[in-house]
Amino acid sequence: MSLECLSSQRSFGGWHKRYRHRAASLGCDMVFAVYLPPQAEMGLPLPVVYWLSGLTCTDENFMQKAGAHRVAAELGVILVAPDTSPRGEDVPGDPDGAWDFGLGAGFYVNATEAPWAEHYRMYDYVVDELPALIEANFPASDQRGISGHSMGGHGALICALKNPGRYRSVSAFSPICHPMDCPWGEKALSRYLGPDRAAWRAWDATALIADAPERLPMLIDQGAADGFLAEQLKPEALQVAAEAVGHPLTLRMQPGYDHSYYFIASFIESHLRHHAQAMAVSVAIR
């Protein structure tokens, strides 16, 4: 598959690069960012952490604001950040121009309803197409971790819960834990999947956890001063569901922190070390 390099910058001894390619699962061109740590130049396969961003974001938010390159360079971990939705002239957005649905708000599901079903298959893209592309074109192993923020935290949790053995680790910042029971989730799921709420359960981490075929430990950081906490995020629902079935979940409520990338930048190092430990990555000496 052809990759067009859009930009390339040196960072902490490695390279931050942005690429465009034609995504078969989405029927449009997509852009993703990849950080290749210094160890990538040795040609040995390295583990990959996939980062899923939140509403309105693109691949650029995490790479520019999270401060993750330094730790990834130390650990020898590749970082990959896709866009948050399909894009292009033929891709429909919210008819009212709202920011919380459509372009920039793919919700990491496979849509079944017109007109969304033709392009909005972010789940297939994130779980299958993008990793295959990364592993075919970069020195990437099949050791994968997945993380994300807000809508992307929701995406990370469902991708891990629905795919036993595919990921070695999972974490999230301020995830939408129970989209069936919050305004953002109800809006997105009802349009992408239709009015039958039973179909929504396959895309809700709180609903999925009871029957998850793998008990992959979850690490979640949540800002206690997050303005979206009570109405949209609902980590307590996921915690109750996890405790009911003994699913390992570390939920850390961080006093004073909000929903911003200041919060993510403050704790991204511990998340990357969580992934590195799960993927048995030795700390590299630069």
pLDDT tens, N- to C-terminus, the chain (286 residues): 689 999 999 999 999 999 999 999 999 999 999 999 999 999 889 999 999 999 999 999 999 999 999 999 999 999 999 999 999 999 999 999 999 999 999 999 999 999 999 999 999 999 999 999 999 999 999 999 999 999 999 999 999 999 999 999 999 999 999 999 999 999 999 999 999 999 999 999 999 999 999 999 999 999 999 999 999 999 999 999 999 999 999 999 999 999 999 999 999 999 999 999 999 754 332 2
pLDDT value for 3:
96
Q: What's the confidence (pLDDT) of residue 4?
A: 98
Of the residues 150, 169, 171, 174, only one is catalytic, namely: 150
Q: How far apart are CA 189 and CA 139, in angstroms?
A: 36
Active site residue 90: no
Whole-number pLDDT of residue 281? 55
For residues 76 and 97, give the distance between their C-alpha atoms in angstroms, rounded to a whole number. Answer: 41
Tokens (6 digits) for 11: 């960072």
State pTM to two decimals.
0.96
Task: Write down the catalytic residue from 178, 259, 271, 275.
Answer: 259
Q: Which two tokens stand for residue 194?
A: 């239709």
Q: What is the spatial distance between Cα 221 and Cα 234, in angstroms, rounded to a whole number? A: 12
Closest CA to 182 of 261, 107, 102: 107
Q: What is the structure's pLDDT at 1?
A: 61
Return the HEC string of 5-35: EEEEEEECCEEEEEEEEEECCCCEEEEEEEE
Cβ proximity of 209 and 219 under 8 Å? no
226 is catalytic: yes
Catalytic residue among 83, 204, 221, 226: 226
Domains of the chain with CATH codes: 3-279 (3.40.50.1820)
What phi and psi, each to the nearest 5 degrees, are found at residue 42?
-80, -15
Output the CA–CA distances (angstroms, integers) from residue 273 to 6, 77, 141, 281, in the order listed. Answer: 29, 10, 18, 9
The C-alpha atoms of residue 183 and residue 227 are separated, in whole angstroms, by: 14
Q: Measured between alpha carbons, how far is 64 from 46 in angstroms, rounded to an integer?
A: 22
In the residue annotation, 149 being an active-site residue is answered as: no
Which pLDDT score, from 0 to 100, does residue 99 have? Answer: 96
Helix/strand/coil for 46: strand
Q: Looking at residue 44, what is its pLDDT?
A: 87
Q: What's the CA gap between 152 and 175, in Å, rounded?
A: 7
Per-residue pLDDT at 56: 97
